[in-house]
């Protein structure tokens, strides 16, 4: 059951949360998402436990850690995608010395990727296609009538599954 005052605490400290996240994250749309995540973490904690002794400092710490968690996640995703992209470009590079063996390997790599992509559930595939077409997470959520959090989770888990399975096959 919700204790009285949690919403008021969040409203009072909203500027603190926003300022803390803005110092770390420069992209405004990401700031909004991270502030929302921080609000949820704070709300859930306060709803289950007593307020920490120094509430403002604790809220700043939660906000800061949520922002840093996001940066780590983005960096990890970018590293995996760069690795996949570099590997794909390397194997797919067109040059005059491209041998039939290289062309066959490229085709096998594409076939492996398609096979792994087909193992994803229909909803995840649809989200990936929309993201590939340039839609933002928010636009995908609106188009598919799925919550923003679920869209992000599906993309994260789908990428992770693809990367792991392709790495196991030696494609990446």
Q: What is the pLDDT of residue 118?
A: 87
pLDDT tens for 76-98 read 777 777 777 666 655 555 554 56
Residue 78 within any structural domain of the chain: no
pLDDT tens for 140-151 read 999 999 999 999
Q: What is the pLDDT of residue 96?
A: 47
Which phi-psi region, left, alpha or beta, contains residue 10 (left: φ > 0; alpha: ψ -120 to 50)? alpha
Are 52 and 109 in a shared domain?
no
Residue 75 within any structural domain of the chain: no
Q: Across the chain, what does the average pLDDT equal?
A: 83
Distance separating the N- and C-terminal Cα atoms of the chain? 48
Are 163 and 102 in a shared domain?
yes
Residue 125 within any structural domain of the chain: yes
Residue 88 within any structural domain of the chain: no
Q: What is the pLDDT of residue 2?
A: 47
Are 66 and 115 in a shared domain?
no
Are 60 and 107 in a shared domain?
no
Residue 76 within any structural domain of the chain: no
C-alpha closest to that of 156 among 119, 122, 118, 127:
127
Residue 116 within any structural domain of the chain: yes
Are 102 and 148 in a shared domain?
yes
Q: Which residue has the tokens 């710490």?
A: 61
State how many domains the chain has: 2
Residue 60 within any structural domain of the chain: yes
In the predicted structure, residue 128 carries a pLDDT above the cut 80 = yes
Q: Which residue has the higher pLDDT, 8 or 92?
A: 8
Range with the lowest mean pLDDT among 1-10, 13-22, 51-60, 137-146? 1-10
Q: Is the pTM of this model over 0.85?
A: no
The CATH number that applies at residue 157 is: 1.10.10.10
pLDDT tens for 24-64 read 988 887 898 899 999 999 988 888 887 788 889 999 999 99
**Full domain range(s) for residue 122:** 94-168
Residue 133 within any structural domain of the chain: yes
């Amino acid at each position: 059951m919700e204790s009285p005052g949690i919403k008021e605490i969040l409203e009072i400290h909203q500027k603190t949360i926003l300022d803390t996240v803005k110092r770390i994250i420069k992209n405004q749309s990401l700031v909004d998402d991270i502030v929302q995540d921080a609000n949820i973490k704070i709300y859930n904690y306060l709803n289950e436990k007593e307020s920490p002794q120094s509430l403002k400092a604790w809220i700043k710490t939660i906000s800061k850690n949520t922002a840093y968690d996001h940066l780590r996640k983005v960096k990890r995703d970018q590293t995996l995608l760069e690795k996949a992209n570099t590997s794909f470009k390397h194997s797919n590079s067109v040059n005059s010395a491209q041998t039939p063996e290289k062309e066959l390997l490229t085709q096998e790599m594409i076939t492996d990727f398609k096979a792994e992509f087909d193992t994803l559930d229909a909803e995840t595939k649809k989200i990936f296609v929309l993201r590939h077409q340039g839609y933002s997470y928010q636009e995908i959520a609106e188009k598919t009538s799925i919550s923003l959090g679920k869209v992000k989770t599906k993309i994260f888990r789908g990428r992770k599954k693809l990367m792991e399975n392709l790495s196991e096959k030696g494609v990446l």
